[in-house]
Structure 1
Amino acid sequence: MKIAKIVLSYIILALAVISTNGCDNEKNIALPYVSKNTNYLGLKDSNGNVIKGIKPPQKIVSLTLRSDEILLDLAEPENIRALSKWADDPLISNVVEKAKNVSRRAVINEEAIIELEPDLVVLSQSQPYDLVHRLRNMGILVYVCPLAKTVQDTKDMILDLGILLRREDEARKILADMNFVINDIQKKADQISESERVTVYRFSVSGGNGGKNSYYDDICRLAGVINTAGKMHFRGTQLMPKEQVVQMNPDVIFLPTWDYSGKIDLEEYKKEIINDPALQTVKAIQTESLYVIPDKHMLSSSQYMVECIKDIYEACYER
């Protein structure tokens, strides 16, 4: 019975696509786990073509915290149908209070999204591609946020969404506020010679430590510190072995405040780092220069990432 329902659902979906696009487009019928292509990021149709000239969306569904934070500063709350569940978590969300103006929380599930009757769905490149493909084949507008590798990537996305929502002035105001903070920190950091720059290392339970060409690496650059993980022979979010932490010998260690799984005792995790025999020769351990930076700042890739730049600069140079 269950298999019959699944088969029936695909038949209905196929007929819907054929009636919309014509028989020549049968090859575009959405199937699960189809291969990604390079043209699916941003606002595209099921063939990867850019969609332009749409009316400002009035029923937006956001499936990521990043888009929650940006949209709550760009769109009116009444035009947001639902936010992600992370919007309400004070350990990771910068918009807990603003999120109270939107009553519903979205689930990353095709049927649940369709029930919200959105005229725009905003999700991340890290979320299921087959979901993107199916929603687009049903005629739902989907904006896929590229994973941010630099702060400029975040700025570009804010402006992109501002243009899409016809809120370009508001988007440029957000960018101006970001640039004010970044420029202020950089003016101070420019006064610090390369030899006096603090070296830092981030312990994380969220998946990696921010190697070369990562978002965290770019934030460290803007904060005027040297990310030791960025100097090692790995990239992105791989974990750095303890031997390499000892080798890089950071001046400062940053500790986490949030655990995705909710199963890790972070206080015990911190104690283990401080008391780890293998790390006792590290300068940060010897000088007790271990600082907690809120993960709602540290892990943010929205406009709130400027708070992380401030936190890092102040922890390293103004204590």
Structure 2
Amino acid sequence: MSTSRTTAAATLAALSLIALAGCSPAADTPEPQAPAPATAAEFPRTIEIPAGGGGQAHNLTIDAAPQAIAALDYESAEVLAELGLADRLVLIPEAVLNPTLGGHVESLSGVATTFPVAMNLDTETVIATAPDLVVMSPRHGAEDSIGAVLEQAGLATLQLPDSWTTPEMLAQNVALIGETTGTEDAAGDLIEEMEAGYAAGAATTAGADNADAPRVLVLTNQAGRPFATAGHAFPLHLLNLAGAVSVSDELGMRATGPISAEQIVQANPDGIVLVDMNGSGDTMYAELLENPAVATVPAASDDRLMRVTGRDVQALGLGATVSGLASLTEWVSELG
């Protein structure tokens, strides 16, 4: 591919003022780096990809505006659709066609090829769609299993430096996708809208900065059974901005995983958030919440449960997470 002067994406600007107040990533989590300011949407262009959890800093040269794009994770597919590129997508995860998760179901319904789970995706499926750009993040190990193979096959591959676990990383990834596809202006507008929305919807004091912050358990049904959301998952960063803290840390949970009735009783949270990732509502939570021991926990009562869809609190929701945060902040304020 030819080399040209480096262009860049919209910067993250004011996000540092409102995101992750008192709730920064773990010490071993690389801080996202903003690309340089954007210039004209011209090709060829060379994008500087900063170092991160996905690998070392490197450059990616794009000869022409991509016309056939394969998105290998939920968030990338949603960002590309949000930037007006749904008609250029040739491969997406099928989960974004579920309105519980996806915000662009209609515009993405015409994408020719979908796949069920990123970790099961093979290079043959990607190559068969003949993309001129592949977008992927360091999630499910796909970057290790197929990223290098795709590059060796001559496919331009945007391997995002970090997964979508914080508002800062979300903004960084949106900026890079915008720069790579020539939609940096739209990406910049999206970032600014989300920054402003988070600032307006956040609690006055972040949960991590308040010794008396409500303690909340966040459950998700994404694995076909109740899992406790833990670690540096995006919903927990929103929870912090909403003025609460996650009890998964108290339980010693470092990653999202199964939770037992005994653990819920032990944690005795002030409230419980039920995240519906597949449209099944409370179905997968019913047995756990109706457990006799759990039923004695005040947070299991209906007035201390908050029900949200995946797109309300997951990074893939993009603008929907702004209203999701506002609702979460209001609910948290009533737990005190």
TM over 0.5: yes
Question: Partner of 1:170 in structure 2?
Answer: 186
Question: Partner of 2:95 in structure 1?
Answer: 86
CA distance in 1, matches of 2:62, 2:315: 31
CA distance in 1, matches of 2:263, 2:216: 13
Matched AA of 1:93: G
More deviation, 117-126/71-80: 71-80
> Is the alpha carbon distance of 1:182 and 1:247 closer, same or farther for their aligned partners in structure 2, counting shifts above 3 Å?
same
CA distance in 1, matches of 2:302, 2:90: 50
Deviation at 1:218, TM superposition (A): 1.3
Deviation at 1:214, TM superposition (A): 3.0
Is residue 129 of structure 2 the alignment partner of residue 116 of structure 1?
yes
Report the 3-state secondary structure (helix = DSSP H, G, I; strand = E; otherwise coil) of the residue aligned with 2:249. helix
Is residue 136 of structure 2 the alignment partner of residue 136 of structure 1?
no
Deviations 1:36-82 (A, max 9, x none): xx88938x9xxx85323543212111122211110012243333333
Is residue 244 of structure 2 the alignment partner of residue 228 of structure 1?
no
Question: Partner of 2:21 in structure 1?
Answer: none
Is residue 194 of structure 2 the alignment partner of residue 185 of structure 1?
no
Checking the alignment, whether the CA contact within 8 Å between 1:61 and 1:106 is kept in structure 2 is no
Question: Partner of 2:111 in structure 1?
Answer: 103
Report the 3-state secondary structure (helix = DSSP H, G, I; strand = E; otherwise coil) of the residue aligned with 2:165. coil
Question: Partner of 1:76 in structure 2?
Answer: 85
> Is the alpha carbon distance of 1:56 and 1:244 closer, same or farther for their aligned partners in structure 2, counting shifts above 3 Å?
same
Deviations 1:107-166 (A, max 9, x none): 434333223221101123225333222211110011234322322111110011111112
Once the two structures are superposed, the pairs formed by residues 263-302 of structure 1 within 5 Å of their partners are 267-286=282-301, 288-301=303-316
Unaligned 5+ residue runs, structure 2? Answer: 1-50, 116-120
Checking the alignment, whether the CA contact within 8 Å between 1:41 and 1:143 is kept in structure 2 is no
Report the 3-state secondary structure (helix = DSSP H, G, I; strand = E; otherwise coil) of the residue aligned with 2:114. coil
Report the 3-state secondary structure (helix = DSSP H, G, I; strand = E; otherwise coil) of the residue aligned with 1:106. strand
Structure having the larger proportion of residues in helix: 1
CA distance in 1, matches of 2:290, 2:87: 51
CA distance in 1, matches of 2:284, 2:80: 34
Checking the alignment, whether the CA contact within 8 Å between 2:53 and 2:163 is kept in structure 1 is no
Once the two structures are superposed, the pairs formed by residues 200-239 of structure 1 within 5 Å of their partners are 200-207=216-223, 208-239=227-258
Structure having the larger proportion of residues in strand: 2
CA distance in 1, matches of 2:272, 2:157: 39
Structure index of larger Rg: 1
CA distance in 2, matches of 1:59, 1:178: 27
CA distance in 2, matches of 1:95, 1:308: 17
Checking the alignment, whether the CA contact within 8 Å between 1:39 and 1:49 is kept in structure 2 is no
Report the 3-state secondary structure (helix = DSSP H, G, I; strand = E; otherwise coil) of the residue aligned with 2:70. strand
TM superposition score normalised by structure 1: 0.73
Q: Bigger relative contact order, structure 1 or 2, given CA contacts below 8 A and separation 6+?
A: 2
Matched AA of 1:312: L
> Is the alpha carbon distance of 1:40 and 1:252 closer, same or farther for their aligned partners in structure 2, counting shifts above 3 Å?
closer
CA distance in 2, matches of 1:224, 1:276: 29
Deviation at 1:309, TM superposition (A): 1.8
Matched AA of 1:130: S
Is residue 213 of structure 2 the alignment partner of residue 197 of structure 1?
yes
Deviation at 1:253, TM superposition (A): 1.0
CA distance in 2, matches of 1:105, 1:274: 38
Checking the alignment, whether the CA contact within 8 Å between 1:214 and 1:235 is kept in structure 2 is no
Checking the alignment, whether the CA contact within 8 Å between 1:40 and 1:144 is kept in structure 2 is no
Deviation at 1:201, TM superposition (A): 0.8
Percentage of identical aligned residues:
20
> Is the alpha carbon distance of 1:111 and 1:280 closer, same or farther for their aligned partners in structure 2, counting shifts above 3 Å?
closer
Two-structure CA RMSD over aligned residues (Å): 3.0
> Is the alpha carbon distance of 1:82 and 1:211 closer, same or farther for their aligned partners in structure 2, counting shifts above 3 Å?
closer
CA distance in 1, matches of 2:68, 2:302: 53
Matched AA of 1:88: L
TM superposition score normalised by structure 2: 0.70
CA distance in 2, matches of 1:248, 1:40: 31
Matched AA of 1:254: V
CA distance in 2, matches of 1:105, 1:306: 30
